[in-house]
Amino acid sequence: MQKRKSPQRSCCFIGALALLFVVGMGNPCMLFAQRKLTIKLASMAPENTPWGAALNRMSQEWARVSKGEVELRVYHNGVAGGEEDVLRKLRLNQIQGAVFTSAGLNLITPEIMTLSVPFFIRDDAELARVLRDIKPDLEAKINEKGFFTLAWAKSGWVKIFSRREVFVPQDLKRQKLATSPDTPEISQAFKVMGYQMVPVMISDLLVSLNSSMIDAVYQSPVLVGGMQLFGITKHMASINIAPFMGGIILNQRAWSRVPEAYKPAIIEASRRIAEEIGDSITQLESSVVKTMTSYGLTVNQVSPEQEQAWYSDVERAMPALLGTTFNREIYQKINGILQLYRSGR
């Protein structure tokens, strides 16, 4: 004969469930403790830089707006590997997010490198206008590859540093110019324009300068200052070559697990902090250039007429680069945006 359950025991069980529910409502952490989502994000930047500090703030903001349910765990200083390693780990979900430079974003979708066409986008105002109008297209291409573009950040401008003064293209064409193997598109653009290009890893720049293997570099002033390259490349041309961009990317697998209720606040916080990164980098870049000039760096102020010589040089080369080195469709869209902006519309 089957033993009947005691009504008293059943009532106790139901009462215990009710008590658990009431306690859980009073303390949501008990009820949702197992729902906490951890997103591991890799960054090549040292923690003691504007990028590092901003990512730490972003982690705190995520915790605040998600009431502790979404944790952003940042791995600074390149401990997760180079950009190719990080991208592979992102696809395997070994990490869920990453900060990429233009070169890293180019590994996801090559259209990104069109933002870095030399002497194409000329200043902060033009960059802001281009990003406002072109970001939806670029983000759609990134997202099609299984990622989510959380935020973009401006990280300063690439400049020319050289042994001898540079005012016009011919001044630089007489010198051996280092190029990074990680950005073959930029190297190809300079080759087509007639420059002497020498592939050099960033870590080998100082050795290559000391041995006279190269005479000039195009890099961020912050990197040149940090690596003490200005002791040899004592001249910096004032003209901007290209913007240095950063993108914060998550894989779709992680983003889909973020509760919908928190996504707008996480996006807003991330993009606000990305804007702060751009402002911090601008200030840092200015400070670094000032420091380098106090140690002997000369800033060669390029006149408007001399600037036009650079712009004309790259315009002559573009027919050979479009459709091969740079994406024709994205280039034409950016060019259209710039022409309207420069005409005051």
Task: CATH number of the domain at 259, please.
Answer: 3.40.190.170
pLDDT of res. 188:
93
Domain membership of residue 3 (yes or no) is: no
Q: Could you tell me if residue 200 is inside a domain?
A: yes
- Residue 145 placed within a domain: yes
User: CB count, 10 Å around CB of 215?
Assistant: 21
pLDDT higher than 60, residue 336: yes
What's the rounded Cα separation, in Å, for the pair 217 and 177?
A: 6
Domains in the chain, number? 1
Write phi, then psi, for 216 (nearest 5 degrees): -150, 155
Q: What is the structure's pLDDT at 312? A: 96
Question: Is 185 within the bounds of a domain?
Answer: yes
pLDDT grade for 45, boundaries at 50, 70 and 90: confident
For residue 219, being part of any structural domain is answered with yes
DSSP characters for 275-335? HHHHHHHHHHHHHHHHHHHHTT-EEE---HHHHHHHHHHHHHHHHHHBTTTB-HHHHHHHH
257-284: b or e for each residue (b if 16 or more CB lie within 10 Å)?
ebeeebeeebbebbeebbebbbebbbeb
Is 277 within 8 Å of 50 (Cβ atoms)? yes
pLDDT band at 50 (very low <50, low <70, confident <90, very high): confident
Terminal C-alpha separation, the chain: 90
User: Residue 201: which domain range?
Assistant: 35-342
Q: Model confidence over 97-141: pLDDT tens digits?
A: 999 988 899 999 989 999 999 999 999 999 999 999 999 999 999
Q: Is residue 144 part of a domain?
A: yes
- Which tens digits make up the pLDDT trace of 81-107? 999 999 999 999 999 999 998 889 999
Domain annotation covers residue 298: yes
Q: What is the pLDDT of residue 234?
A: 97
pLDDT digits (tens, 9 = 90+) for 151-171: 998 888 999 999 999 999 999
Give 141's contacts (C-beta < 8 A, 6+ positions apart): 109, 111
308 vs 49, 122, 305, CA distance in Å?
35, 11, 5
Q: What is the pLDDT of residue 46?
A: 87
What is the average per-residue pLDDT within 62-88? 95
pLDDT tens, position by position, 195-226: 999 999 988 999 999 999 999 999 999 999 99
Residue 277 counted as domain residue: yes
Q: Which residue has the tokens 């974003």?
A: 105
Q: What's the pLDDT at 220?
A: 92
Task: Say which DSSP state 38 is in.
Answer: E
